[in-house]
Amino acid sequence: MALAIFDLDNTLLAGDSDYLWGTFLTENHYVDVDTYQRQNEQFYQQYLAGSMDIFAFSAFQFAPLANTPIEVLHRWRETYLAKKIDPIILPAARQLIQFHHERGDTLLIITATNQFITEPIANKLAIPHLIATIPERVNDRYTGKVSGIPSYQEGKITRLNAWLATHHHDLTDSFFYSDSHNDLPLLNYVSHPVAVDPDPTLHRIAKQHNWRIISLRQCNQVVELNRNP
């Protein structure tokens, strides 16, 4: 049973769930709008450049979690999912997921985005396994700190290896789908790396390595995608 691993943001989704969470918070004035919006954009540009400090970003991202009661966070999240996430779930992504289900593969999302945001998204996509950056939680409150190793860049390999050990799985005939050059360590680690609507850096490297390049945003590729993953 092969492992099919998916990045989430700008791969299965036509957008970035982390960035959109920040947009949701500012649109509803749940945070200081000018300060949060400016920092959110700065971190996103750093991510695109591959220079983001994941611990600095997590401290920024987790501050609203730490400052808000859990029941309020859950209400916010339900609205966020309906308004920001449901419209950007790609139909072709659902077909790709279904293809791997029908193959009998084990499905896993691995994402740098935090678990509070991504766990319900994984459920919406019917992907049973998730590796995400974990916000520390003590006595039913978030602390604002990261628990363990963030699943970002090389950290994705560290977290994946721990997952493989506890789930008695390996990477034989494994797939990994991603849009980002930040995922090059893991793309180089699996049997079948696939660049999905890749950023310019990943597109160039994928072509150099003769990796498959696909689009989940162009419906005319869906049939070919399912026939030959």
Would you call 170 a catalytic residue per the annotation?
no
SS (H, E, C) the chain: CCEEEECCCCCCECCCHHHHHHHHHHHCCCCCHHHHHHHHHHHHHHHHHCCCCHHHHHHHHHHHHHCCCHHHHHHHHHHHHHHHHHHHECHHHHHHHHHHHHHCCEEEEEEEEEHHHHHHHHHHCCCCEEEEEEEEEECCEEEEEEECCCCCCHHHHHHHHHHHHHHCCCCCCCEEEECCHHHHHHHCCCCEEEEECCCHHHHHHHHHHCCEEECCCCHHHHHHHHHCC
Catalytic hit among 7, 105, 183, 197: 7
Would you call 9 a catalytic residue per the annotation?
yes
- Residues with a catalytic annotation lie at 7, 9
